[in-house]
Amino acid sequence: MERLIEVEEQEVLMDFHLARKCRTDVHLRSIHPTSTVLFKVQTSSPNKFLVNPPSGVLAPLSSASFQVILRPQSQLPSSFPRSSSDRFLIKAVSLAGGQDAHVLPHPASVNQWFAARPHLNTHDTKLKVFYLGAVLLRHAVDGGDVEAVRQILRRQKCMVPPLINSSDTAYLLRASSSCHDPTILELLLEAGLGLEPSDNTIGPIIPTASATISKAKGIIPRSNPATQSKGWTALHTAAAAGTYDTLLRLLQQIRGGDGGGELDCRDCDGRTPLHLATSKGYMRCVSALVDGGVDKNARSKDGRTALHRAAANGDHEMVALLLDVGADPTTVTSRGRTPLDVARDKGHKEVVEILERGELVLTAARRGDIQRLESLLKKGVSTGSHDQYGITALHSAAIKGHNDIVRLLVKSGMGLECRDVEGHTPLHLGVEGGWLEIVVMLVNMGADVNAKSSRGGTPLYMARSMGYDDISTFLVSRGATSEGGASSSSMSSISMSGSACHLE
């Protein structure tokens, strides 16, 4: 059955407290464009959980939420973080076209509506339950349960407010520093615990903790003891912890020359702060790093870029963001794998679709398929993709002479000064194609008539070298100068850049 709803939370994350009611919200969205959708929520443990409301009505493309309430528990969960017995099932059905399509039940009677139709063909969404919180994290640290600590910390970033306060942090760092396995302490520090202590109870802990790591791993101490085992700078730590305000301050310091290291500083695995923020799914931090000027295509020691990491995680929102800011989807790892290859290997269908759509945009622009391109853009597909030559959709349309495609891409927000690997703008390639109308259009839209390629070639130089007198006359009339030229090898590279479009 076709999907009817999307669930924002892939898991039911419950901040657990002993002898207290615990609550969390789950958000739904109808993805059916025309039909009303009814839903009901079932739990495998009705003696433990309440759901409010247990059912509801979703208008086309609308949103709703329900609250999961855990009754007060006198003991810790029998298994955590993931519960082995607790789960939820959301059953959804569309009223479109059925015999009940004209009957819209009141939200309060949806459960009865479902009960009267036990053989309905429904779309079902299963949600696992994960128990989190400071109580369970303390228990896991005390017990030396590395995997439980890792799973709780991985999910606690999704919780609002944060699960761990300063007093919990102090206890956790002290307890973990006495563990035989330094991995637990590393996980706590990587999650940002102790990064910005809010009281004096935490400060003295960090040197002791770091000494424990160093002793266990034989690592030479660095200037930042809290992250010395990984070779992290303060910028790495802020990116990994998702501390947005700290990250902004560090970026300002770096830009202002007030210290703070380098934008693309590397840790022991060759990862930059962008790698870490991407891996953790911190969208705001990634945007701040990109705006700050980091290398979007920096490769770690295994050859992976931030886009590879987002693709491996199945983080389709992060993949879309990185593509939109110009991350290169053609970069390969040391094993020759592109982000698309990685997403396919992992079975991340949404990521595969996004990356393939980027290729579809390039293909549509190259072929002049205006209807296909319009359809892709309406679906929110990014225009930031490019091929291994750095050729974007706008470059392709310009050299092919597709006026309507050029106009549509610029109208959709694509920059006129995007560059291929040789530094050519779409105006350069419009000139190379000999398309006066394309050149006029790009210049009228604001393209730089004196833009230089990486070897100094300007559009006017190219036009004169290729004997396009009409284009040369127009460019001069719009302020192009004869300054700047290119060697014969440069002209060869220009032609080769354009051949990427001609040959496909």
| pLDDT tens per residue across span 450-465 | 999 998 999 999 999 9
CA distance 239 to 235: 6
Number of domains making up the chain: 3
CA distance 316 to 22: 30
User: Exposed, middle or buried: residue 380 (CB in 10 Å: 0-12, 13-18, 19+)?
Assistant: exposed
- For residue 193, the model assigns a pLDDT of 65
Residues 121 and 169 in one domain: no
CA distance 355 to 323: 8
Q: What are phi and psi of 127, to 5 degrees?
A: -125, 130
C-alpha distances (whole Å) from 45 to each of 86, 88, 110, 416 are 6, 9, 21, 58
Q: Cβ distance 494 to 453 under 8 Å?
A: yes
Q: Which residues pair with 127 in a beta bridge?
A: 88
pLDDT bin (cut points 50, 70, 90) of residue 204 is very low
| pLDDT tens per residue across span 389-403 | 888 899 999 999 999
Q: Cβ distance 242 to 285 under 8 Å?
A: yes
| pLDDT tens per residue across span 152-192 | 988 876 554 455 665 677 777 777 766 667 788 778 877 76
CA distance 24 to 16: 10
Is residue 210 assigned to a domain? Answer: yes
Could you tell me the pTM of the whole model? 0.47
| pLDDT tens per residue across span 384-435 | 778 778 888 999 999 999 999 999 999 988 889 999 889 999 999 999 999 9
**Average pLDDT of the chain to the nearest whole number:** 82
Is residue 457 assigned to a domain? Answer: yes
Question: Last residue of some domain: 338, 356, 374?
Answer: 338
Residues 93 and 154 in one domain: no
C-alpha distances (whole Å) from 15 to each of 75, 159, 176, 414 are 14, 8, 21, 44
Residues 63 and 179 in one domain: no
Domain that holds residue 295: 135-338
Residues 64 and 182 in one domain: no
Is residue 481 assigned to a domain? Answer: yes
Residues 77 and 152 in one domain: no
Residues 320 and 248 in one domain: yes
Q: What is the CATH number of the domain that holds 121?
A: 2.60.40.10
CA distance 484 to 393: 27
Which residues are within 8 A (CB) of 140 and not within 5 positions of it... i.e. 6 or more apart?
Answer: 80, 148, 149, 152
Among residues 65, 178, 55, 171, which one has the least CA distance to residue 110? 55
Is residue 252 assigned to a domain? Answer: yes
Q: Cβ distance 5 to 67 under 8 Å?
A: no
Q: What is the CATH number of the domain that holds 440?
A: 1.25.40.20
Long-range contacts of 351-356 (CB under 8 A, 24+ apart): 351/310, 351/311, 351/314, 351/315, 351/316, 351/319, 354/316, 354/319, 354/320, 354/323, 354/381, 354/382, 355/311, 355/319, 355/323, 355/329
Residues 271 and 314 in one domain: yes
Q: Which residues pair with 126 in a beta bridge?
A: 89
Residues 155 and 122 in one domain: no
Is residue 205 assigned to a domain? Answer: yes
Identify the helix (H) or strand (E) that includes residue 241. Answer: helix 234-241
pLDDT mean over 355-381: 83
